[in-house]
Amino acid sequence: MKKLIYLAVMLISISAAAITPPEISEKVLKAFKETFINAEGVTWKEMDNSCQANFKVNQIQVRAIYDNDGNLLETVRYYGEENLPPNILARMKKKYAGKEIFGVTETSSDSELSYYITLKDDKSWYTIKSDPYGNTQQVDKFKRADKD
């Protein structure tokens, strides 16, 4: 009986710890609210020396990482071709004609802005990295497992 009670207490303790929201500093929350005014569905995750917010802005999924002083370190946005800058979209359509843009992962930090564009055709998946000027390089190519 003691073991059963001990087990129940442990499960309740673990459950309570799992649902306890992270404690995000006021500096971070203030910086976040000033930067992402239209953020919806915000969830936070604590990390060693930073914290991460996951949310949507205008139907675009966003991940923002802040240091503990409220400085924005990096953002990652996930979207479709309709949100790519026109100069990059035009180059992609010309250089990779016949391939469909499946999705875009945009990474932004103080030192770099990059677009990782996932393309597909009948046989393969491609990951193309672009800078803001439309200079591209192929990063990966995989054979599609869903096609024979």
So what's the pLDDT on residue 12? Answer: 55
So what's the pLDDT on residue 146? Answer: 79
The pLDDT tens digits for 5-43 are 555 545 555 554 454 456 888 999 999 999 999 999 999
Chain centroid to Cα 133, Å, comes to: 22
Write out the DSSP string of 14-81: HHHHHHSPP---HHHHHHHHHH-TT-EEEEEEE-SSEEEEEEEETTEEEEEEEETTS-EEEEEEEE-G
What gap in Å lies between CA 45 and CA 24, rounded to an integer? 9
Tokens coding 25: 């500093």
What is 80-148's CATH number, 3.10.450.360, 3.10.129.10, 3.90.1150.10, 2.130.10.10? 3.10.450.360
Q: Where are the domains of the chain?
A: 23-69, 80-148
So what's the pLDDT on residue 24? Answer: 87
So what's the pLDDT on residue 69? Answer: 92
Per-residue confidence in pLDDT tens, the chain, 148 aa = 555 555 554 555 555 445 445 688 899 999 999 999 999 999 999 988 899 999 999 999 999 999 999 999 999 999 999 999 999 999 999 999 999 999 999 999 999 999 999 999 999 999 999 999 999 999 999 999 876 5
